[in-house]
């Protein structure tokens, strides 16, 4: 069997992902990034004969079976559609679409090209503790699932100069305009995977905490968290955070049913707490069970060497299985679930700006929903060609970094 040929668009994060595809027997044949230094760094890390491109138009003509879309967070949809038109399978990082209109366009393209595998490359459901939650939910011992929580909490040191120069390297960068609701798939994806539910209504509130001290910053949001609540298609409720920044760093998830609940213990890796009531606990379980989750996977050694707690390897493996078996991925990695997650991100931000107003999450199987949003290109991000954002990034629309903060930020980048 010939190895699957992979092209990588976005040589920073894309290079990390590509290592997992190499471990799975794929051939990395081409890289594309507009930054020459990042291209060269990725070529050195990956080794071998790999073509390098600075523009997507030339890159897409190189010839490969599948693409890793690891370009800017909110700009995947137009490139995914171009790949669909050429029959190239798609492994798309983070949110699938940056606007509601792009979500419509992506769904329509996916229906037009059904033989192209579209895989939403959300890796957190493949973390060890989240896989254990999925396993327990499948046993049925938790009963009907009523409620789930997902917290992706990732505070950052404002004086981490290396981060700014690597990931936040000009004033118009998307990270400087990122609303707290938008980076949602790490909190929402795992609970959608474990429960099988899809959000239908969303509401959100912000925790606003501006820092006016003299730190290097060009951020246009002073929200530290967005508390997002969804009512789902099975009647359950989710509470998720998007990307939060409070307290200590943690990834925490909880699934609650009529008969029991399971969660990972914050700050203790894959330590699980599985709880039942005494009158309905399974015969072989205690009321409160503390234990360490296990992989039980033939590729365990490769998994442990992978990034993000092994989840990067597993996500790549799932994508390749879809290609080889000629099938679209399971929930929530298929295109409709991907666009639903992105719609939660986008509409939760609008809810936050409007004091918690509920928004329905479109079902893009329905043409009436597509027509409603097919021209909706509102965005808190600067446009590809430098156009000004059409929505504020912060719950307090007048917030902006101070002149001193901008001065320090520019000084940091110039060194």
CA-based diameter of the chain, in Å?
A: 65
Tell me the CATH number of domain 5-120, given options 3.30.565.10, 3.30.1600.10, 3.40.605.10, 3.40.50.720.
3.40.50.720
The pLDDT confidence band at residue 356, using thresholds 50, 70 and 90, is very high
Rounded Cα distance between 309 and 291, Å, is 18
The pLDDT confidence band at residue 88, using thresholds 50, 70 and 90, is very high
Average pLDDT over residues 198-205: 98
| CATH number of the domain located at residue range(s) 127-299+335-373 in this protein | 3.30.360.10
SS (H, E, C) 251-319: EEEEEEECCEEEEECCCCCCEEEEEECCCCCCCCCCCEEEEECCCCCCCHHHHHHCCCCCHHHHHHHHH
pLDDT, residue 407, reads 97
pLDDT, residue 291, reads 98
pLDDT, residue 71, reads 96
Query: 232: alpha, beta or left, given left = phi > 0 and alpha = psi -120 to 50?
Result: beta
Which residues of the chain does CATH 3.40.50.720 include?
5-120
Question: Is 90 exceeded by the pLDDT of residue 267?
Answer: no
Average pLDDT over residues 289-318: 94
Question: Is 90 exceeded by the pLDDT of residue 286?
Answer: yes
In 3D space, the residue among 107, 119, 95 whose CA is nearest the CA of residue 178 turns out to be: 95
Question: Is 80 exceeded by the pLDDT of residue 1?
Answer: no
pLDDT, residue 386, reads 82
Average pLDDT over residues 79-88: 98
pLDDT, residue 344, reads 98
pLDDT, residue 337, reads 98
In 3D space, the residue among 34, 28, 38, 37 whose CA is nearest the CA of residue 8 turns out to be: 28
The pLDDT confidence band at residue 307, using thresholds 50, 70 and 90, is confident
Question: Is 90 exceeded by the pLDDT of residue 48?
Answer: no
3-class secondary structure, 355: coil
The pLDDT confidence band at residue 34, using thresholds 50, 70 and 90, is very high
pLDDT (tens digit per residue) in 110-162: 999 999 999 999 999 999 999 999 999 999 999 999 999 999 999 999 999 99
The CA distances from residue 61 to 65, 88, 99, 320, 325, in Å, are 11, 11, 27, 22, 25
pLDDT (tens digit per residue) in 182-197: 999 999 999 999 999 9
Which residues of the chain does CATH 3.30.360.10 include?
127-299+335-373
């Amino acid at each position: 069997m010939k190895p699957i040929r992979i092209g990588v668009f976005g040589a920073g994060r894309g290079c990390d992902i590509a290592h997992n595809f190499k471990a799975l027997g794929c051939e990395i044949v081409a890289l594309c990034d507009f930054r020459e230094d990042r291209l060269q760094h990725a070529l050195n890390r990956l080794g071998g004969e790999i073509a390098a491109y600075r523009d997507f138009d030339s890159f897409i003509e190189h010839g490969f079976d599948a693409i890793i879309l690891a370009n800017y967070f909110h700009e995947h949809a137009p490139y995914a559609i171009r790949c669909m038109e050429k029959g190239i399978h798609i492994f798309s990082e983070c949110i699938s679409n940056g606007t509601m209109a792009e979500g419509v366009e992506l769904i329509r393209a996916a229906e037009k090209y059904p033989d192209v595998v579209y895989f939403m490359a959300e890796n957190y459901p493949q973390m060890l503790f989240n896989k254990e939650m999925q396993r327990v939910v499948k046993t049925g011992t938790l009963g009907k699932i009523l409620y789930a929580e997902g917290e992706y909490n990732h505070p950052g040191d404002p004086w981490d100069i290396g981060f700014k120069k690597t990931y936040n390297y000009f004033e118009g960068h998307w990270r400087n305009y990122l609303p707290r609701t938008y980076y949602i798939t790490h909190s929402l994806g795992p609970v959608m995977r474990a429960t099988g539910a899809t959000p239908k209504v969303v509401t959100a509130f912000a925790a606003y905490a501006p820092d006016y001290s003299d730190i290097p910053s060009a951020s246009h949001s002073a929200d530290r968290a967005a508390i997002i609540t969804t009512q789902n298609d099975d009647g359950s409720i989710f509470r998720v955070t998007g990307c939060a920044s409070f307290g200590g760093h943690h990834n925490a998830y909880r699934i609650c049913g009529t008969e029991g609940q399971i969660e990972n213990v914050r700050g203790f890796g894959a330590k699980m707490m599985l709880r039942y009531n005494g009158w309905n606990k399974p015969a072989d379980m205690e009321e409160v069970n503390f234990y360490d989750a296990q992989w039980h996977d033939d590729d365990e050694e490769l998994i442990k060497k992978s990034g993000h707690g092994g989840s990067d390897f597993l996500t790549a493996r799932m994508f390749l299985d879809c290609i080889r078996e000629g099938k679209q991925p399971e929930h929530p990695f298929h295109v409709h679930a991907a666009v639903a997650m992105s719609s939660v991100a986008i509409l939760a931000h609008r809810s936050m700006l409007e004091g918690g107003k509920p928004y329905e999450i479109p079902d893009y199987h329905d043409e009436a929903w597509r027509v409603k949003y097919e021209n909706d290109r509102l965005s808190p991000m600067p446009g590809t060609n430098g156009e000004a954002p059409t929505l504020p990034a912060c719950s307090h629309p007048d917030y902006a970094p101070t002149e001193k903060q901008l001065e320090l930020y520019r000084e940091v980048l110039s060194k």
